[in-house]
Amino acid sequence: MSGSLLIRPPPTAHGSLETAPLVNLLVYMSGKKLDGTLELKSPDGASAPASIFFVAGQPAKVKTSEPGHYLGGILADLGYVEGDQLTASLGTLASAKARGPALHGQVLLQAGVIDRGKLEAGLREQISRKLRQISSMPPATSYEYFAEYDALRDWGAEAHRGFDPLPMLWPMLLESPPSKQVAEILARVASSVLRISRTPELERLRLGPDERATVELLRVRPLRTEDLVAASGMRPREAHLLVYLLMVTRQVEVRRPSEAVAQPEAESERPTRPISRPDAAAPPASSPLVPPAVPRAVSGERSAPAPDLDAQLSRRAREILDCVDALEATDHFEMLGVARDATRDQIETAFFRLARKWHPDALPRALASLRLPCSRVFARIGEAHAVLADDAQRARYRESLTNGEDSREDQELVERVLDAVTYFQKAEICLKLGDNAEAEDLCARAVKGDPSQAEYHALLAWVLALKPENLVPARTREQIRILDRALAMNERCEKAYFWRGLLYKRLGEVHAAVRDFRHAADLNPDNIDAVREVRLHNMRGESRKSSGVHATGKKPASSPLLDRIRKK
């Protein structure tokens, strides 16, 4: 850190992890872009002290007194360093240290074993693991913050920048949740609703599929915490931790129910489907929208309002019922009340205005019986916005109207695509829960609804490969061919590589399996299973070498020198 203080100043802040968990401290440092050192110490000596050096709010160095989390081992875990390369580099490092300061990463870099990108990935993972270690320190751990001071100046490599801490928070919470703070925050917002903030940075969190799908529910409509947990399909503990993470990183806003209705969604966001069966009966009034477009026979269902309404409420009731009856004859432009040459900004403005007006939660209590018809109108408004907010889809839709084609075809296409997303998300959850039959059914529906998605084909191939009758080599190769086609559609489909690797491993084709595991790990270093497979392969290779057995299974010719070494 250029211009940092050379003499330790007095601490500018202090506290304990009991009142400010490490997750909160990292978020605060990142938000304020602070430079300086955070030192942590357990008052009873139960945990060794630790230091974190920040550059512009990002952890650049982390020192823990307890051994572990060595860079070489981490690079091996990530599949970037082979076992023999690691052993050789450790010897080189020892020799270099005998002459003066030396760093393992620089040794590997200079030897051409890794490039700078892999070194950066290894350092990022090293910092993440050390932060998780610090996060597990007891709540009584105290901390002091020294602004503009680098307490680790003479330790490790000089650091001019750090690593974004936000992707490191979710694993940290799962391993060492600050239970007291989580319970307190959830209790404070129990009666409120959550909605996505106007400037979310969700991508920085690098959440998994289940967590991302849960967040998507909040894009559709604001929800109470417990409603979100119930609809997510996640374990309650993990769902509550996710809510805590979203709140401390300010990805969501907390609103009273009445305020949430009046707030439009962020302008860059489109309504998406909830994780619920799209082919179920009409969703309950409290569930997220948008449901499928309503067939004419159903949209004709009319719930009569109370007869003693005043003139204003009577006009509103008549407007709702008339609008429901006209849904089938109304195209998307008419639904939003915009011209066919409307700009995206005009479409967005119209959508937010209508969403506020037609949100079923905005209905007066006296019109509660019209909630279902109002929900149907609101759903069609969301459907129209989903098509018209996308420039390409809007152009195709406008052309279909000009040519006199059935406007419902484009609507049905959008519905199928959205349904396919929901089927796929639900299939992933069922697979994790061990319900393979349901996962197969849902995934087949996803492929049928949107056959252009490589992930859908890959998941279906894997689910089919798990069936007992498909464990034989011939059937396994059939699923490999499906995964081949998925990768031809999208060469960056990480799961297709990983599952194909597992199938090759089932067939005993080790080199093909490891090749795919490496592809999966390169595409997603957080795919622990893929990284583990690569690491195990490397360890087996090292074991064969150390025992003097080549890949052919034969021992090398003996020599007096080797014999003396072995005897020693």
- The reported pLDDT for the residue numbered 324 is 79
Q: How confident is the model at residue 430 (pLDDT cuts 50, 70, 90)?
A: confident
How far, in Å, are 5, 63, 70, 89 from residue 94 at the CA level? 32, 21, 14, 9
Q: How confident is the model at residue 298 (pLDDT cuts 50, 70, 90)?
A: very low
150-154, 162-166, 218-222, 334-338: the lowest-pLDDT one: 218-222
- The reported pLDDT for the residue numbered 411 is 56
Going from N- to C-terminal start, the domains of the chain cover: 13-164, 177-262, 296-414, 452-568
Q: Please indicate whether residue 417 or residue 78 has the higher confidence score (pLDDT).
A: 78
Amino acid code (one letter) for 140? A
Fold of 296-414: Helix Hairpins (1.10.287)
Handedness of CA 432, 434, 435, 441 (dihedral sign): positive
- The reported pLDDT for the residue numbered 568 is 43
Q: What is the DSSP string of 31-64?
A: HHT--EEEEEE-TTSSS--EEEEEETTEEEEEEE
Using the predicted structure, report yes or no on whether residue 351 has a pLDDT greater than 80.
yes
- The reported pLDDT for the residue numbered 537 is 86
pLDDT (mean) for 8-32: 92
Q: How confident is the model at residue 401 (pLDDT cuts 50, 70, 90)?
A: confident
Q: How confident is the model at residue 326 (pLDDT cuts 50, 70, 90)?
A: confident
Residues with Cβ < 8 Å from 371, sequence gap 6 or more?
285, 360, 363
26-40, 277-291, 413-427: the lowest-pLDDT one: 277-291
Q: Say if residue 446 is exposed, middle or buried (CB neighbours under 10 Å; 0-12, 13-18, 19+).
A: buried
- The reported pLDDT for the residue numbered 552 is 47
Q: Please indicate whether residue 167 or residue 3 has the higher confidence score (pLDDT).
A: 167
Fold of 452-568: 1.25.40
CB 529 within 8 A of CB 498: yes
SS3 193: strand
pLDDT (mean) for 34-46: 85
Q: How confident is the model at residue 399 (pLDDT cuts 50, 70, 90)?
A: confident
Q: Cβ atoms within 10 A of the Cβ of 50, count?
A: 23
What distance in Å separates the CA atoms of residue 146 and residue 344, rounded to the nearest whole number? 49
What distance in Å separates the CA atoms of residue 297 and residue 333, rounded to the nearest whole number? 23
What distance in Å separates the CA atoms of residue 521 and residue 125, rounded to the nearest whole number? 13
Q: Cβ atoms within 10 A of the Cβ of 463, count?
A: 24
Q: Please indicate whether residue 220 or residue 497 has the higher confidence score (pLDDT).
A: 497
43-52, 505-514, 546-555: the lowest-pLDDT one: 546-555
> Among 568, 277, 318, which residue's Cα sits nearest to residue 421?
277
Residue 5 carries which DSSP code? B
Residues with Cβ < 8 Å from 213, sequence gap 6 or more?
232, 233, 275, 425, 428, 429
Q: How confident is the model at residue 284 (pLDDT cuts 50, 70, 90)?
A: very low
Residues 91-141: tens digit of each pLDDT: 999 999 899 889 999 999 999 999 999 999 999 999 999 999 999 999 899
Q: How confident is the model at residue 408 (pLDDT cuts 50, 70, 90)?
A: low
Contacts 24+ apart (CB under 8 A), 351-360: 351/381, 351/384, 351/385, 351/389, 352/264, 352/265, 352/267, 354/381, 355/264, 355/265, 355/381, 355/382, 356/261, 356/262, 356/264, 359/221, 359/261, 360/285
Residues with Cβ < 8 Å from 248, sequence gap 6 or more?
23, 24, 27, 185
Q: The tokens of 467 are what? A: 């069936």
* Mean pLDDT across the chain: 81
Residue 541 carries which DSSP code? H
pLDDT (mean) for 64-84: 88
- The reported pLDDT for the residue numbered 543 is 58
Residues 556-568: tens digit of each pLDDT: 444 443 344 344 4
Residues 248-257: tens digit of each pLDDT: 999 998 887 6
Fold of 177-262: Arc Repressor Mutant, subunit A (1.10.10)
Q: Please indicate whether residue 452 or residue 10 has the higher confidence score (pLDDT).
A: 10
- The reported pLDDT for the residue numbered 312 is 85
Using the predicted structure, report yes or no on whether residue 463 has a pLDDT greater than 90.
yes
pLDDT (mean) for 511-518: 94
Q: Cβ atoms within 10 A of the Cβ of 100, count?
A: 6
Using the predicted structure, report yes or no on whether residue 172 has a pLDDT greater than 90.
yes
What distance in Å separates the CA atoms of residue 123 and residue 445, rounded to the nearest whole number? 42
> Among 355, 384, 348, which residue's Cα sits nearest to residue 221?
355
For the chain, give the number of residues. Answer: 568
Residues of the chain above pLDDT 70, percent: 81
What distance in Å separates the CA atoms of residue 170 and residue 287, rounded to the nearest whole number? 27
pLDDT (mean) for 420-439: 83
Using the predicted structure, report yes or no on whether residue 271 has a pLDDT greater than 70.
no
